[in-house]
Amino acid sequence: MIVQATNTGADLNYNHFDLQIPGGGMGYFSGCLSQYNGSYSWGQQYGGVSNRSDCANLPTNIQDGCYWRFDWFMNANNPNITFIEVPCPTDLTSRTNCVRY
């Protein structure tokens, strides 16, 4: 898996990053509340929805990402991983418009 780190906020531990996965929790800023109007069941602020079936209560355009969390990522919560830093591929930077200088 190749991910792009875009934030190293003060609430993070050393050598730690968050994966932003639909249904995985809002975290400190709860940004989805301002992005999506409506009554959605977002789950816990830290941890998100509890079950795969809860993904159906999220906005339609992010439900597939939530299902991925349960189906492929096996609902892992703060897993320990081994990673190496690589140059960020243009497939990511062209979507995020975020490039490290």
* 39-60 pLDDT, tens digit each: 899 999 888 999 999 999 999 9
Please report, rounded to a whole number, the percentage of residues in the chain having pLDDT higher than 70.
93
Classify residue 25: in a domain, yes or no.
no
Strand partners, 48: 44
- pLDDT tier, 32 (very low <50, low <70, confident <90, very high otherwise): confident
- Report the 10 Å Cβ neighbour count for 90: 9
**Number of domains the chain contains:** 1
Classify residue 17: in a domain, yes or no.
no
**Residue 93 per-residue DSSP state:** H
pLDDT reading at 74 higher than 90: yes
Confidence (pLDDT) at 59: 95
Classify residue 5: in a domain, yes or no.
no
Classify residue 62: in a domain, yes or no.
yes
* Strand (E) or helix (H) holding 61: helix 60-71
The whole domain housing 73 covers 32-92
Q: How far is 11 from 52, CA to CA, in rounded Å?
A: 28
Confidence (pLDDT) at 46: 87
Classify residue 84: in a domain, yes or no.
yes
Q: How far is 19 from 72, CA to CA, in rounded Å?
A: 14
pLDDT reading at 9 higher than 70: no
* Phi, psi for 46 (deg, rounded to 5): -115, 105
Question: Hunting for tokens 């349960």 — which residue is that?
Answer: 70
Classify residue 85: in a domain, yes or no.
yes
Classify residue 50: in a domain, yes or no.
yes
Classify residue 2: in a domain, yes or no.
no
